[in-house]
């Protein structure tokens, strides 16, 4: 029987990825469609993608597929051939990364989950069949010029902080499942307005648009392919970007430049900066924004306390971590945990 999971350490896998001599292409895609047997679907996909040297993170559920991957550029056409051989995925839009060095993933993980986007929706009457209207890049720019148009960002605070569309509204919650009812409540007196929802690659805003329609909103749109597809289309079509700054991505790159605008600040000194990093203290791994000067001063750590731990012998670090999970995860969604950790007030405007 074929091996359906990895047995090599992450350190070795990452090193092998960096030693590759061929270029890789980073791609994201998703599709809401019925998968009656997600485990069987997952196992077959794993075998096919391993053969094509695909790395990345893929979630499978009865409601569809959500994927962020990298693959050898020379295997791109073979990958498309396989993917499009699945009837429901034939012709699926593939979002090609905007700024891509190919070093986004170093292992393939395909997991079966209850949902491809955790939404907290329990209403049996909710359906993804009734979703908002797609808008392309040109249509997005036109709608942005309308003062009556409401633009809603369906991403987390650390994504919004480094880049967003002009006049976009942030939904100030730490999880997508909390954002959905909050967005509906915030917009409850605007049910007849044009509302555009957007996210990184389209998967969250597509579900959010369906949720808003389910809540009685009339004119709901969502950005086709999210920020990634938008950024590619404005380049192809010579359009001005309504998105300013950097698009946060959930891989080794942690971001891709859409425009040269730097709208965020270093969380340690306040200097203009939009470079995310994870604290090098393995007991912390806080995701935060750090400029080059602070990275040198703190050795890539978020506080002097973490810096002190980082310089302890490995045995002592492991002893301190014994029995404890990382206090702050790699992709932390809570502003409330950033504030006390860094000792400053971090607000997203």
**CA 203/CA 164 separation, integer angstroms:** 17
Per DSSP, what are the bridge partners of residue 153? 170, 198
> Does the annotation mark 205 as catalytic?
no
Closest alpha carbon to 100 in 137, 68, 75, 58: 68
Under a CB-based contact definition with an 8 Å cutoff, are residues 26 and 104 in contact?
yes
| In contact, 170 and 157? CB cutoff 8 Å | yes
Angstrom distance (rounded) from CA 148 to CA 25: 39
Instruction: Retrieve residue 31's tokens.
Output: 């599709």
User: How far apart are alpha carbons 221 and 232 in whole angstroms?
Assistant: 20
DSSP 293-318: HHHHHTTT-SSHHHHHHHTS-HHHHH
CA 31 to CA 12: how far, in whole Å?
32
Contact predicate 274/245, CB 8 Å: yes
Residue of 39, 90, 95 lying closest to 251 (CA atoms): 95
Contacts of 85 (CB under 8 A, 6+ apart): none
Residues belonging to the active site:
199
């Amino acid at each position: 029987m074929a091996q359906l999971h990895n047995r090599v350490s992450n350190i070795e896998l990452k090193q092998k990825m960096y030693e590759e001599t061929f270029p890789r292409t980073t791609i994201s895609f998703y599709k809401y469609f019925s998968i009656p047997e997600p485990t069987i679907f997952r196992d077959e996909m794993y075998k096919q993608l391993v053969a094509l040297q695909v790395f990345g993170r893929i979630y499978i559920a009865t409601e569809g597929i959500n994927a962020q991957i990298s693959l050898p550029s020379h295997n791109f056409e073979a990958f498309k051939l396989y993917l499009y051989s699945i009837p429901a995925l034939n012709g699926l839009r593939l979002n090609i990364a905007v700024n891509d060095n190919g070093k986004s993933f170093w292992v393939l993980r395909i997991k079966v989950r209850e949902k491809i986007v955790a939404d907290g929706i329990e209403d049996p009457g909710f359906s993804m069949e009734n979703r908002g209207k797609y808008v392309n890049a040109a249509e997005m720019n036109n709608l942005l010029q309308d003062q009556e148009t409401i633009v809603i960002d369906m991403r987390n605070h650390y994504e919004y902080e480094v880049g967003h569309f002009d006049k976009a509204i942030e939904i100030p919650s730490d999880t997508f499942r909390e954002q959905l009812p909050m967005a509906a409540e915030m917009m409850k007196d605007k049910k007849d307005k044009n509302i555009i929802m957007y996210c990184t690659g389209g998967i969250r805003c597509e579900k959010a648009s369906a949720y808003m329609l389910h809540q009685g909103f009339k004119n709901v749109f969502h950005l086709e392919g999210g920020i990634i597809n938008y950024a590619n289309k404005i380049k192809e079509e010579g359009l001005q970007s309504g998105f300013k700054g950097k698009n946060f991505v959930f891989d080794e790159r942690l971001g891709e430049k859409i425009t040269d605008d730097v709208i965020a600040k270093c969380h340690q000194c306040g200097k203009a900066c939009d470079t995310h990093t994870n604290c090098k203290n393995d007991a912390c791994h806080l995701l935060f924004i750090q400029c080059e000067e602070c990275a040198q001063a703190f050795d890539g750590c978020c506080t002097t306390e973490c810096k002190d731990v980082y310089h302890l012998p490995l045995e002592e670090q492991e002893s301190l971590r014994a029995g404890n999970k990382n206090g702050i995860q790699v992709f932390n969604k809570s502003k409330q945990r950033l504030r006390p950790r860094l000792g400053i007030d971090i607000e997203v405007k």
